A and B are shown apart, each in its own frame.
Chain A
Amino acid sequence: MSERVLSVRHLLGIDGLTRADAELILETARSFHEVNTRALKKVPVLRGRTVALLFFENSTRTRLSFELAAKRLSADTLSFSASGSSVSKGETLIDTARNIEAMGPDLVVMRHEQSGSHHLLLRAMSGAVVNAGDGQHEHPTQALLDAFTLLERFGRAPKDGLTGKTIAIVGDIAHSRVARSNMLLLPLLGAKVRVCGPRTMLPPGLDQYGVEATDDVDQALEGVDAVMTLRIQKERISGARMASDRDYFHRFGLTKERFKRLPERALVMHPGPINRGVEIDHDVADDPRAVILEQAENGVAVRMAVLYLLAVVHAKAEGA
């Protein structure tokens, strides 16, 4: 049996992944998900390897999720957290990266507030680079864990994809890296995707993703299999993009009334952290059909899969 490997050496985004890559990550995540249900939640596949976690932007859940993923694979971890731009700290990203590289990590996970900063990181790193969120660009492991959660709930194998399913993404599409990664991954897996938000939050060129865009939330939610509400990220919004939280909630939020009109089967997703009463009603967020905590749980398995598969690609490249 020939071992399947990823076609990429780094995970900088969903952009550049093939359907086969996505299926491979999701299938591998299934195996690791099973590991995560055991009493002894640890496998020795990355023993002796080092995973560096560079978080240049505040993050709790993604950093913890990657850290746990690395530890469950038996890797050693190096952790670096700094908020604010590298420039304001006086050291450039490339200098920080070179210092980390000197410690010889095999895998480097980075979150950074600037879109595309991983391209700069690649210049300093010999190991595999994983994007844990870059500015408004991409957050590929979030999209993968979203897809994983959907497949699990729909009882589908990764190879069957999401064909026939309709997923609505509602919120600030313009500033969202989660939306960008999902707009690439969900259609790649065969899903029909609708994106919805105020026109101020719908950026130009959405048709390049093969998604439908609308500013009518009721139309967007009609007959959906899942709705993904995005966090309104005030820290990324500049200028006049929205009115009050209340106005937004009434026009675009997942209110109790809108939730009641959703099909029975429809799931509610949110990448977290939640602004209750802004993008989602307080009680809806706690409804059994809200799979928000499952998303967080599945994130560990998906990140284990990504780290493991990239380590395999690099081991092959080094052996060649």
Chain B
Amino acid sequence: MTGVADLVISGGRVVCAATGIDRVADVHVAGAHVLGLHPPGTPIPAGARHLDARERVVLPGLVDLAVHLRAPGREDDETLDVTLAAALAGGVTTLVALSDTQPPVDGADDVQQRLAAARDALPYGPDVVVAGCLTRRREGKEIADHADMTGAGARVLTDVAAVADTEVLRRALEYAKSSGARVVMLDPTDAALGKGTVATESPLSTRMGLRAVPLAAQAIGAARDRALSALTGMAVHHHAVTTPAAVSPAGLSPGGAPTSSTTMWHLLFDEESLRQRPYDTALRLWPPLAPAAERKALLDLVRRGLVAVSSGHRPVPNRTKDLEFSLAEPGATGLALALPLLWGALTPIEIAKAMSALPASILGLTDRGRIEPGARADLVVVDPRATDLVDEALAISRSWANPARGARTAARVVATVAAGRVAFQRSDA
């Protein structure tokens, strides 16, 4: 890369899992791309914007695989500009907008609308990767217009929920294979076993009298999807994994085994929280929280770089949260909270892997998830010594129900650079 930097982030500890870098350096940015990493103290070109990152950690911008938008259809719960602002505040520079809006992303015009709406809502916001429906209206019956949607810019296909009919899924994966979609995202939970359940089957679900899904439901669905991925050659990603039993052993199928991700909440919370806070609907999530042993084993797979982590951002307003446990809507807001809350549970390099490099590679986005010359200048600057109270202001969303309400974060995002622009900066940082 040649040229002159117009943005320099100086003196930070630069951590990048993709390149293995973990050292203090100045990051020089020109336009939308990283120009290079230089020893600290390298002169800053005249006129360049300067971010002082001493005592701070600089990571590649996060790539969030699972964001449930509330616009269109549920703007009262969260508008798109708020979702995108929350992403930037959490260091997220690329996010997958799942298809489960109202109406769902079902055709080329829906894809165009989502992309245009994102640009209008926040001109220099995070890059929005639109996920279209795998089956029409997410009904699991007919194949959706894959090629129309990918032609309009969709990169991912998903119904968000599991596709119950194996024949439909087989044909949809075959059809998707040549549509230009990079990956099909699936919930591994077997639809019949998961239907109507609100807890993971365990001694605790028995004690609480809650309809529960066995962990085996994920292993069953994951095994089916793995076989179908091998049969059809279409890449599959499981986006709602809470047990290692659903994580595919690598290298089994010719096209590569399905990849997996879990959400921040399933790494930070397990059913012990439900035992301590019985029937607290802030803990009502999908998939339901798993036993502690599953969470710990999954955390280990994340540390080893085998499972990605998303925010699972799914804002739920008090209107649908302040209900009986089984009737409450599952979900928690997370975009602005993932990195600050996971800090410490994961090391910086583990975060860079699980929340940036790995999800970027799952999406086939080779220009990000890494800090090196030529890469997209998506960067997040973290103050590892500052903490914040998890409240409505920090969560940003007006639908801010989440399991960590009232807790303190372990770190603070002080600045986010998206495609070379300082898109977010804490005023008190």
Residues of A within 8 A of B (CB): 15, 85-87, 92-94, 112, 114-117, 119-120, 134-138, 174, 177, 180, 203-208, 238
Contact = CB atoms under 8 A, between A and B. Distances in A.
Contacts, number: 77
A116 B206 contact: no
Interface of B: 196, 201-211, 278-280, 322-327
A115 B204 contact: no
Nearest to B210: A115
Contact of A137 (B196, B201, B209, B280): B209
Nearest to A134: B209
Given A116-B279, A120-B279, A87 B323 contact: yes
B175 to A, nearest CB: 32
- Central interface residue in A85, A94, A114, A137, by most chain B CB within 10 Å: A114
Contacts of B326: 114-115, 135
Contacts of B210: 115-116, 136
Contact of A120 (B202, B211, B323): B323
Interface of B is mostly: loop
20 contacts: A15-B207, A85-B324, A87-B323, A93-B323, A94-B323, A112-B324, A116-B324, A117-B325, A119-B278, A136-B209, A180-B206, A180-B207, A203-B201, A204-B201, A204-B202, A205-B202, A205-B203, A208-B203, A208-B206, A238-B196
Contacts of A86: 323-324, 327
Contacts of A87: 323, 327
Contacts of A85: 324, 327
A115 B199 CA distance: 12
Closest 6 CB pairs of A and B: A205-B203, A116-B279, A137-B209, A136-B209, A114-B324, A115-B209
A180 B203 CA distance: 12
Contacts of B208: 115-116, 137
Contacts of B327: 85-87, 114
Contacts of A119: 278-280, 325
A117 B203 contact: no
Contacts of B209: 115-116, 134-138, 177, 180
Nearest to B193: A239
A108 to B, nearest CB: 16
A134 B205 CA distance: 14
A209 to B, nearest CB: 8
A172 to B, nearest CB: 12
A92 B209 CA distance: 21
Contact of A206 (B196, B206, B278): B206
Contacts of A205: 202-207
B291 to A, nearest CB: 10
B275 to A, nearest CB: 11
Contacts of B203: 204-205, 207-208
A115 B281 CA distance: 12
Given A86-B327, A119-B280, A204-B202, 10 more contacts: A92-B322, A93-B324, A114-B324, A115-B209, A115-B326, A117-B325, A119-B278, A180-B209, A205-B206, A206-B206
B206 A94 contact: no
A174 B212 CA distance: 11
Contacts of B324: 85-86, 93, 112, 114, 116-117, 120
Nearest to A173: B206
A208 B207 contact: yes
Contacts of A116: 208-210, 278-279, 324-325
A87 B278 CA distance: 21
A68 B93 CA distance: 64
A117 B327 CA distance: 10
From B196, B209, B280, B325, name the one whose CB has the most chain A CB atoms within 10 angstroms: B209
Contacts of B325: 114-117, 119
Contacts of B323: 86-87, 92-94, 120
A86 B203 CA distance: 28
B201 to A, nearest CB: 6
A56 B69 CA distance: 35
B203 to A, nearest CB: 2
Contacts of A114: 324-327
Contacts of B279: 115-117, 119-120
B353 to A, nearest CB: 35
Nearest to B196: A238
A174 B326 CA distance: 17
A15 B203 CA distance: 14
Nearest to B192: A239
A180 B209 CA distance: 8
Contact of A94 (B202, B204, B278, B322): B322
